[in-house]
Amino acid sequence: SIPDEITELTNIVNLDLALNSFSGKIPEAVGNLEKLELFSLFGNGNLNGTLPISLYDLTNLTHLYIDGNNFSGNISDKIGQLKRLKHLTVYDNPLTGSLPSKLGFCEELEMLHIENTNLNGTVPDEVCMLTKIDLNSLNDEVEIFKA
């Protein structure tokens, strides 16, 4: 599992834990990493549980890669607090619910990958109106999501 001690690295800017075969949950204290800009957990496969609410307190985050895991639950409306977010990849996770309209507050968002999840509904207008996003990053598998 991801060691709790990682959350004590309060000056860390990039945390790349991709492809490490971690299992378990993201520590709730991840919100202590206030300077974090890049957080990558992709491809671990066995990370699970819901996304900790403290994840959305990482307001310096520009890149969040959690694809290729087993995260469940929804993406919180609090994602709108990540105003500097440029890349968000959550594909290949059994996430549920709809894409929050508050994602539209992430005005720097350029790339969004949500394919192969259990998300439903349409991509909110607030997201479609973002000027920097490449809506083609919502590939053909999620055509039904485009508003």
> Is the pLDDT reported for residue 147 higher than 80?
no
- Cα dist from 98 to 64, 101, 103, whole Å: 18, 9, 11
pLDDT in tens, 59-104: 999 999 999 999 999 999 999 999 999 999 999 999 999 999 999 9
Q: Could you tell me what percent of the chain has a pLDDT over 90? A: 83
20-29, 66-75, 138-147: which has the minimum mean pLDDT? 138-147
**Where does the chain have alpha helices with state H?**
125-128
- Cα dist from 115 to 24, 62, 126, 143, whole Å: 22, 20, 19, 10
pLDDT value at residue 139: 53
In the chain, DSSP finds a helix count (H) and a strand count (E) of 1, 8
> Is the pLDDT reported for residue 142 higher than 70?
no
pLDDT in tens, 116-126: 999 998 889 99
For tokens 């996304």, the residue is 51
Angle at 2 between CA 90 and CA 46, to 5 degrees: 50
Residue 63: partners with Cβ closer than 8 Å, 6 or more residues away: 37, 38, 39, 40, 85, 86, 87
